[in-house]
Amino acid sequence: MTANPLTAPATPIRAALSRAGGAVAKPGLLLAWVIVLIAVGWVLFPAAFTSYDPLIGNPSAGFSPPSAQHLFGTDRLGRDLFARSVHGAATTLAATLFAVLIGFGIGSLVGLAAGFLGGVIDTAIMRVADVFLAIPNLLLAMVIVSVLGYSTNNIALAVGISSVGSFARVMRADVFTVMTRDYVRAAYGLGVGRLGVVFGHVVPNAASSVLALAALEIGKAILAVAGLGFLGYGAPPPTPEWGLLVAEGRDFIAVYPWISLLPGAALAVVVLATHRISTSLRKDHGR
For 99-129, give the secondary structure using H, E and C: HHHHHHHHHHHHHHHHHHHCHHHHHHHHHHH
- Report d(CA 148, CA 155) in Å as an integer: 9
pLDDT at res. 263: 94
The distance of Cα 134 from the centroid of its chain, to the nearest Å, equals: 21
Give phi and psi for 63, each to the nearest 5. Answer: 60, 30
CATH architecture, domain 71-284: Orthogonal Bundle (1.10)
pLDDT at res. 4: 45
Give phi and psi for 49, each to the nearest 5. Answer: -105, -25
pLDDT at res. 24: 55
pLDDT at res. 284: 61
Digit-by-digit pLDDT tens for the chain (287 residues) are: 444 444 444 444 455 545 555 555 578 889 999 999 999 999 999 999 999 999 998 999 999 999 999 999 999 999 999 999 999 999 999 999 999 999 999 999 999 888 888 889 889 988 988 888 888 888 888 888 988 888 888 999 999 999 999 999 999 988 888 887 887 778 777 777 777 777 887 888 888 888 888 888 899 999 999 999 999 888 888 889 999 999 999 889 999 999 999 999 999 999 999 988 888 876 665 54
